[in-house]
């Protein structure tokens, strides 16, 4: 069994009532693996699981906890995990204005107060003092995902969508909103910084608002 650090350690298994019950002490398991001696270092495994027909089980690995739940288990005590006001997606137990889902999205610690700018920031870039070049949005996203950054990027079950509005009421997303990727990386831990060029609104509008929408 492996915890959120990804290191596998041996577990005791007992077959009871048609179920295989695993026990690994205090470890909050995120993945389980069977028959992978190569990853266990010097530990010799007794690989002998078979069905009633005597056919051996093939080696396997599979997650038993989604990334969001594994992250929660890594940051909150068991009693806190049962309280959505502390560990739920919109809770903000450290009172820094960033919900837990935002802390997860940007690779922050939900129990340590962070500044908003450590999660997301926006910059206005000028070609010259009177010529606006672009609006740039910078934030950290979880690595290993698929899709276009800011448009439909999905990592660890979380979708990052950049949206703009001129009146804070009607919001638009997609390739008409997000231009080029101005900068990406380097990776650090579970996240990487990314800077997106935001396409300025048409029609000579005087204001443009930008937000990052997170969907779990
Ligand atoms: Ca917070």
Domain count, the chain: 3
Residues 127 and 106 in one domain: no
Residues 211 and 123 in one domain: yes
Ion ligand 1 neighbours (CB, 5 A) are 92, 94, 96, 98
Q: What number of other Cβ atoms are within 10 A of residue 42's Cβ?
A: 5
Domain containing 92 equals 67-113
Residues 135 and 196 in one domain: yes
pLDDT (tens place) for every residue of the chain, 216 residues total: 887 777 888 888 888 887 888 888 777 777 888 877 555 555 666 677 888 888 888 888 887 888 999 899 889 998 999 999 999 999 999 999 999 999 999 999 999 998 888 889 988 888 777 777 778 999 999 999 999 999 999 999 999 999 999 889 999 999 988 988 889 989 988 999 999 999 876 545 667 889 999 998
Distance 111 CA to ligand 1 centre (A): 7
Residues 201 and 134 in one domain: yes
Distance 34 CA to ligand 1 centre (A): 37
Residues 107 and 158 in one domain: no
The pLDDT value recorded for residue 52 is 82
Residues 183 and 133 in one domain: yes
């Amino acid at each position: 069994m492996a915890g959120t650090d990804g290191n596998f350690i041996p577990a005791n298994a007992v077959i009871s009532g048609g179920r295989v019950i695993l026990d690994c002490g205090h470890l909050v398991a995120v993945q389980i693996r069977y028959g992978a001696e190569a990853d266990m270092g010097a530990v010799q495994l007794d690989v002998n699981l078979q069905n009633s027909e005597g056919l051996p089980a093939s080696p396997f690995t599979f997650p038993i906890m989604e990334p969001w739940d594994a992250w929660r288990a890594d940051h909150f005590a068991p009693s806190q995990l049962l309280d959505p006001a502390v560990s739920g997606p919109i809770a903000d137990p450290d009172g820094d204005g960033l919900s837990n889902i935002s802390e997860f999205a940007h690779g922050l610690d939900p129990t340590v107060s962070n500044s908003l700018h450590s999660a997301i920031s926006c910059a206005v870039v000028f070609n010259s003092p009177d010529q606006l070049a672009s609006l740039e949005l910078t934030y950290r996203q979880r690595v290993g995902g698929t899709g276009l950054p800011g448009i439909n990027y999905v990592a660890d079950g979380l979708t990052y969508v950049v949206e703009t509005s001129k009146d804070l009421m009607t919001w638009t997303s997609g390739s008409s909103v997000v231009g080029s990727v101005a900068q990406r990386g380097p990776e650090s831990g579970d996240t990487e910084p990314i800077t997106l060029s935001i396409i300025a609104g048409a029609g000579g509008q005087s204001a443009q608002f930008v937000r990052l929408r997170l969907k779990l």
